[in-house]
Amino acid sequence: MSELEQLRDTARARIAAAENADALEALRVEYLGKQGSVSALLKTLGKMTPEQRQEEGPKIQSLRAAVADAIAERKTALDNAALEQQLASETMDLSLPAPQSPRGSVHPVSQVMDELAEIFADMGFAVATGPEIEDDWHNFTALNMPESHPARAMHDTFYFPDESADGGKMLLRTHTSPVQVRTMKAQGAPVRIIAPGRVYRSDSDATHTPMFHQIEGLVIDKNIHLGHLKWTLETFLKAFFERDDIVLRLRPSYFPFTEPSVEVDVGFAIENGRRVLGGSGDAPGHAWMELLGSGMVNARVLEMSGLDPDEYQGFAFGVGVDRLAMLKYGMDDLRAFFDGDHRWLDHYGFASFDQPTLSAGVGATA
């Protein structure tokens, strides 16, 4: 074997055995670098005679090419091995949730509103909305509370300094009842809607916040009576609290926009310091709790909303959504609903996939 062939084989063997990129680079310098042994051989060509050069040149060139090829081949092998190792060490389960990133949750008020929409949709109710910045006429006058009506004083209204285009006062709606008027005016009769939303009153303590949530119900048709109201409320509350033993008591009351008006109480017992709805309030260990206001829509409200009270009747009800959430999910301070404290939200919030459905039970598990 010639000297060059020996050199080539040794170089190939050493290159193939190079353990890493640094070792390989050292070998490249050793053979092909400016001071390298193969480079030195190439330099000898200049001092040869043309005949010698013709014979030795191709041999030395092929030695150089063989070493360069071996280095390139080893480099590819080392690169691939490094990539394999990196991929192996960086595998991740794409189906796992990000462990440290903050996870949002659905606020109990939103969850309860979704539950209510689901329950009432099953009874044929559509969801209606109205503006939170309301005018005096829709919030009060059309609901049979003309100026100087004493019921207005009970609403602790936030008024705006500016007047509406027709000279009326503008305010933050104090209840969802103006949506009754807006819906009847916009679509006529029959009507079957719920109207969930924010309402505002200048009031603040453990059970009152300046902003809170109500849901209004309105059914207008021919021959509607209080029996329909009672059935609707019973069906709704049984579905919402997911118990069949919900017992209601209708008590005569007064609201300007209903006649007759009834206040609806629900029976409950105290279990582990919590109010648990169910059973008659007259049963031993039970009591009644006032839950919502309702009644037959006042004929004057129907008239002001553009309907003929001799042709159409209906019932309405209004209930606090926050209150429903507290009763169902056990919170005891309303103010915490609006603090945005993530510990509270982590505890009481719902997973976004927890869509309430009647088939799965509207009471999602947080």
User: Which string of DSSP letters, residue by residue, matches 274-337?
Assistant: EEEE-B-TTSTTEEEEEEEEEEEEPHHHHHHTT--TTT-EEEEEEEEHHHHHHHHH----GGGG
Interface with ligand DAH: number of residues (CB under 6 A) = 11
Omega before 190 within 30 of 0, i.e. cis: yes
For residues 120 and 255, which CB has a smaller minimum distance to ligand DAH in the complex? 255
Dist CA 229 CA 242 (whole Å)? 19
125 is a site residue for ligand DAH (CB under 6 A): no
CA distance 103 to 112: 20
Q: How far is the CB of 246 from ligand DAH (least distance, A)?
A: 19
**What is the 3-state composition of the chain as percent helix, strand, coil, each rounded to the nearest 5?**
45, 25, 35
CA dist 224 to 121, 136, 234, 259, Å? 19, 29, 16, 13
Contacts (CB under 6 A) with ligand DAH, residues 75-94: none
Rounded to an integer, what is the distance from CA 27 to the centroid of its chain?
A: 61
Q: Which of 318, 321, 348, 350 binds ligand DAH (CB under 6 A)?
A: 318
CA atoms within 13 A on the CB side of 186: 11
Nearest CB to ligand DAH, comparing residues 196 and 293: 293
Say whether residue 305 binds ligand DAH (CB under 6 A).
Answer: no
Binding mask 141-180 for ligand DAH (x = CB under 6 A): ----------------------------------x-x---
Pick one of 196, 293, 314, 356: the residue that binds ligand DAH (CB under 6 A): 293
The residue (of 17 and 154) whose beta carbon lies closer to ligand DAH is 154
- Written as one letter, the residue type at 53 is R
Eight-class DSSP state of 220: E
- 236 lies in the binding site for ligand DAH (CB under 6 A): no
String of contacts with ligand DAH for each residue 206-235, x by CB under 6 A? ----------x-------------------
As a dihedral over the C-alpha atoms of residue 329, residue 334, residue 340, residue 341, rounded to 10 degrees, the angle is -70
Query: Site map for ligand DAH, 244-283, x if CB under 6 A?
Result: -----------x--x-------------------------
Is the CB of 60 or the CB of 145 nearer to ligand DAH? 145
Place of tokens 């709790």: 289
196, 256, 278, 295: residue in contact with ligand DAH (rule CB under 6 A): 295
Contact positions vs ligand DAH (CB under 6 A): 175, 177, 216, 255, 258, 293-295, 316-318
